[in-house]
Amino acid sequence: MNRNNQIVPTDLTEFSVADTIEETLSFYHITQAEFARRNRISEKHLSQVLHRKAFISLTVALSIEEVTGIPAYMLPANDTRYRLAHTNKPMPSDKANDSDFLKQYDWAMA
């Protein structure tokens, strides 16, 4: 991968591994079948990742790094940010009958 290319997203929570893989496949004209084979994952799993119905394991992140040069640490970090941004935050009203639910410790800083 060309290390001079820089992705400068305006909001990192909008990017997941799916975006990174899709961009790589498109830029280098790689088929999903070839990418899946080189990373020893099924085409079905790759399709689920690309549709954000599944996320990659750390082992797969290491495989992708070996095959593409994309740093393994970046991939799960992107997915974690994406998933947190698209997950409903728990609210005190979710457990209205439990006064301790989401009650912050006095030493905690949110």
Domain ranges of the chain: 13-85
pLDDT at 96: 78
User: pLDDT per residue over 66-92, tens digit each?
Assistant: 999 999 999 999 999 998 988 999 887
pLDDT at 12: 58
Q: Looking at the chain, how many residues does it have?
A: 110
Across the range 8-21, mean pLDDT stands at: 76
In angstroms, rounded to a whole number, what is the distance separating the alpha carbons of residues 110 and 98? 20
pLDDT at 37: 98
Q: What would the two tokens of residue 34 be?
A: 């070839």
pLDDT at 8: 53
pLDDT at 95: 81
Q: How confident is the model at residue 104 (pLDDT cuts 50, 70, 90)?
A: confident
Across the range 15-38, mean pLDDT stands at: 96
Give the 3-state DSSP-derived string for the chain, with helices as H, strands as E and coil as C.
Answer: CCCCCCCCCCCHHHCCHHHHHHHHHHHHCCCHHHHHHHCCCCHHHHHHHHCCCCCCCHHHHHHHHHHHCCCCCHHHHHHHHHHHHCCCCCCHHHHCCCCCCCCCCCCCCC
Q: Which CATH architecture has domain 13-85?
A: Orthogonal Bundle (1.10)
